[in-house]
Amino acid sequence: MINKINALLAEINNLRANNSEEIETLRIKYLSKKGEITQLMNDFRLVAAEEKRVIGKMLNELKEKAHQQINQLKESFDNQTVAGDAPDLTRTSYPYQVGTRHPLSIVRKEICDIFARLGFSIAEGPEIEDDWHVFSSLNFAEDHPARDMQDTFFVKQGKDLLLRTHTSSVQTRIMEKTQPPIRIICPGRVYRNEAISYRAHCFFHQVEALYVDKNVSFADLQQVLLFFAKEMFGADTEIRLRPSFFPFTEPSAEMDISCNLCGGKGCPFCKHTGWVEILGCGMVDPNVLENCGIDSKTYSGYALGMGIERITNLKYQVKDLRLFSENDLRFLREFESAI
């Protein structure tokens, strides 16, 4: 046994290899399951008890040495280049992973681009807001349920700081410091105290549009809505407006589009009605204009607001809202070609 170990040690001290395949062959020869050193290790149990200590030590040293030598060969081979220190230009490159745009970013951009073509410019406001900009200036009654802790995240109890529940707050921010004409589109993230499920999340994204000028009418709003629906969902899309209520618009409406899956014939997606709801809108309430220092006798305006997740779901049939915030690459890569 001792002779065998010494012979192997001599061999191992002189290991040579010209390429990685040869190194691998050496590794297999000595260290694989059936390798020579492994076999010696297996035979160790046959060694007489009084010799075990000495031979055990020698065997371990042999194995250690073999690992060392093979690793060294590998390292020296990795550092080797074709012509001395010059980089090997013939080597194939590593695969280069390119990121993709998030589906919500794709749709946000598409919405903003459509409104930009109508002369709207982008405006943004803070996500941490105060009661005035999110509620009071927008004509919410003192006891409106949306102000409730159940719906709104307050940053600090007793302090006038909260996470905005809608992007309508940006309307006020802009109107307070600008006189008409105002034509803005406001994308942003909003927060609501909702239990997270496939159809609700505690944060999501909205786009708000606002137009204030002399003689702005409900017919202007309808025209813009129709243009938007056709640009976003295709030229065959129809719209319908249903009366609704929002504190900051009078009159208010909700807009449906003809179901973009069945073309309005009725399917499970539109619950067999042929229509799907996509946004809220209306004429800016004169109180809101006055709250922001705009003369409501001279000016009028319309506003509309929509959820980006909702529009994305309609365009791409995403069934679970949580996918948007989970960073699952398998989901995100599905939108590679949508950019």
Stretch that binds ligand DAH, among 8-16, 29-37, 222-230, 278-286 (CB under 6 A): 278-286
Instruction: List helix spans (H) across 80-210.
Output: 103-117, 131-134, 168-177
Query: Which member of 125, 180, 264, 280 binds ligand DAH (CB under 6 A)?
Result: 280
Q: Return d(Cα 255, Cα 306) in angstroms, integer.
A: 10
Q: Which stretch binds ligand DAH (CB under 6 A): 12-20, 82-90, 96-104, 279-287?
A: 279-287
Residues 23-42 that bind ligand DAH (CB under 6 A): none
Pick 188 or 282: Cβ nearer ligand DAH: 282
Q: H-type helices in the chain, by residue range?
A: 2-13, 20-31, 36-43, 52-79, 103-117, 131-134, 168-177, 218-233, 286-291, 308-316, 329-332
- 301 forms part of the interface with ligand DAH (CB under 6 A): no
The one among 36, 208, 285, 309 contacting ligand DAH by CB under 6 A:
208
Q: DSSP letters of 73-84? A: HHHHHHH--TTT
Any bridge partners for residue 33, and if so which? none
Q: Does 125 bind ligand DAH (CB under 6 A)?
A: no
CB of 205 to ligand DAH, least distance (A): 11
Residue with Cβ nearer ligand DAH (24 or 254)? 254
The tally of CA atoms less than 13 A away on the side-chain side of residue 252 is 13
Cβ–Cβ under 8 Å, residues 206 and 192: no
- Residue 270 binds ligand DAH (CB under 6 A): no
Q: Min. distance of Cβ 249 from ligand DAH in angstroms?
A: 4
**What does the alpha-carbon distance between residue 181 and residue 213 come to, in Å, rounded to a whole number?**
5
Residues that bind ligand DAH (CB under 6 A): 166, 168, 208, 246, 249, 280-282, 303-305
